Amino acid sequence: MTGYNSTRMTRIVRMFTDFNFKYCCLSKMVVKFTRLIVLSLVFISGQVYSQPNISFELVSNDFDRPVDIANAGDGSKRLFIVDQTGYIRIIDSLGNQLPEPFLDIDDKTFTGGERGFLGLAFHPDYATNGYFFVNYTDNNSDTKIARYKVSASNPDSADVFSEKIMFDIDQPYPNHNGGCLKFSPIDGYLYIALGDGGNGGDPQCHAQDSLDLLGKILRVDVDQNINTPPYYGIPGDNPFVGNADGLDEIWCVGLRNPWKISFDRDNGDLWIADVGQGVQEEVNFQLVSSAGGENYGWKVMEGMNCYDQDPIDGDCPSGTPSCNSPIYTDPIFYYTHSEAEGGKSLTGGFVYRGCKYPLLEGYYIMADYISGNVWLVDSLGGDIFYDNLQSKISSFGEG
């Protein structure tokens, strides 16, 4: 399965008025979860506590395929909605969608299959420098990671001519592009999530090849080489720096389609939601103290399931570990495609850092696009099956 599909996501809703993230993309609209009503009970550490239920408030349904939601962090309280078809729209602090897009790159974005405009991240110092970063599929079906700048005369419009291409990555197939971009709140570096390039089973074993960017998370310093290509620098503590066995940009390997990643805004821990093949969906977790270099196992392992019994009898690099090797980092949480409280396409969210529901403090909230199931997961892998929303969530956002 894939992390999203071109026919899936077309609306946005608002959620959890007290949560630090409040919005998600559904089918053709943006909605907000607005009421939390105590209707059911959950068990946490052997005790029974009230569990808030969820209701929706429509924010906007004027979207084709919304896939990402970002906050500029500039105090404006605007939401920036990425539509896969090639543009960014703004919802202002009053909940009104502005008539003109913030950025329109429809003419350079290819949207067939799982491709298109996929990710957005604002520089931590956006209020001062106006930089933001995007992930899109160009008309050659390749992945572009680019920097743009806001217009000098209009804060609700980007300078379309300011584009600086940082990465131009060949995509062999039309699926598993990944697409998520996030800045760490601790080190300030940009993390770039890339899928294995498709097309089912990672036939070229990109994810296990550390000389290939596909199936990885990259980590770069966007405050280096600001005015000269490649418009980024390499953090000196990246795991493959000075090692001919891997590319300097790589932070971790062994991912299939990390559709969504996020950082815990309190402590900088990294959560990676990796969409599975045909058996399991998995959530991977990195402590902020990680030195990088983790191998999450794909295409040898799919969650805790052995996917490829003999990885080097094919296109995997010599020395690729076999199933269940201690080299692989196990997911902190996984679920199967066959169980009732499961699903087939994981959409990662964020860690709850609100105040109204202290018992939810520190829980990572995520959903499955296909089943509509929602879970809470803690950093020790403990989970609570939360609810079924009867909706297809393609993305979460912080408001």
pLDDT in tens, 151-194: 999 999 999 999 999 999 999 998 898 899 999 999 999 999 99
State the chain's mean pLDDT as an integer: 86
Q: Residue holding tokens 């913030």?
A: 102
How much is the pLDDT for 361? 82
How much is the pLDDT for 142? 96
In terms of Cα–Cα distance, which of 310, 366, 305 is closest to 338? 305
What average pLDDT does the segment 62-83 reach?
90
How much is the pLDDT for 7? 32
Phi, psi angles (nearest 5°) of residue 129: -100, -15
Between CA 92 and CA 106 the distance in angstroms is 22
Query: CB burial class (10 A; 0-12, 13-18, 19+) of residue 12?
Result: buried
88 alpha carbon, distance to own chain's centre: 17
Tell me whether residue 222 is in a domain.
Answer: yes
Query: CB burial class (10 A; 0-12, 13-18, 19+) of residue 369?
Result: buried
pTM for the model: 0.90
Between CA 334 and CA 303 the distance in angstroms is 6
Between CA 67 and CA 395 the distance in angstroms is 6
- Is 394 or 344 the better-scoring residue by pLDDT? 344
How much is the pLDDT for 388? 78
Structural domain span for residue 126: 59-359
pLDDT over threshold 80, residue 39: no
How much is the pLDDT for 16? 40
pLDDT over threshold 70, residue 289: yes
Q: Of the given ranges (23-32, 59-68, 251-260, 365-374), which has the lowest mean pLDDT?
A: 23-32
What average pLDDT does the segment 291-310 reach?
96
Tell me whether residue 188 is in a domain.
Answer: yes
Tell me whether residue 32 is in a domain.
Answer: no
Between CA 153 and CA 158 the distance in angstroms is 10
Tell me whether residue 371 is in a domain.
Answer: no
How much is the pLDDT for 392? 80
In terms of Cα–Cα distance, which of 10, 137, 7, 2 is closest to 65? 10
Tell me whether residue 398 is in a domain.
Answer: no
How much is the pLDDT for 14? 55
282 alpha carbon, distance to own chain's centre: 13
- Residue 4: which pLDDT band, with cuts at 50, 70 and 90? very low
State what percent of residues in the chain have pLDDT above 70: 84
- And the tokens for 398? 């912080």
Domain with residue 323: its CATH number is 2.120.10.30
pLDDT over threshold 70, residue 312: yes
Domain count, the chain: 1
Tell me whether residue 386 is in a domain.
Answer: no
Tell me whether residue 52 is in a domain.
Answer: no
pLDDT over threshold 90, residue 37: no
Tell me whether residue 36 is in a domain.
Answer: no
- Residue 387: which pLDDT band, with cuts at 50, 70 and 90? confident
- Residue 42: which pLDDT band, with cuts at 50, 70 and 90? very low
Give the range with max mean pLDDT: 66-80, 249-263, 337-351: 249-263
Residues 333-367 have pLDDT tens digits of 999 999 888 889 999 999 988 777 677 788 898 98
Between CA 83 and CA 67 the distance in angstroms is 6
How much is the pLDDT for 365? 87
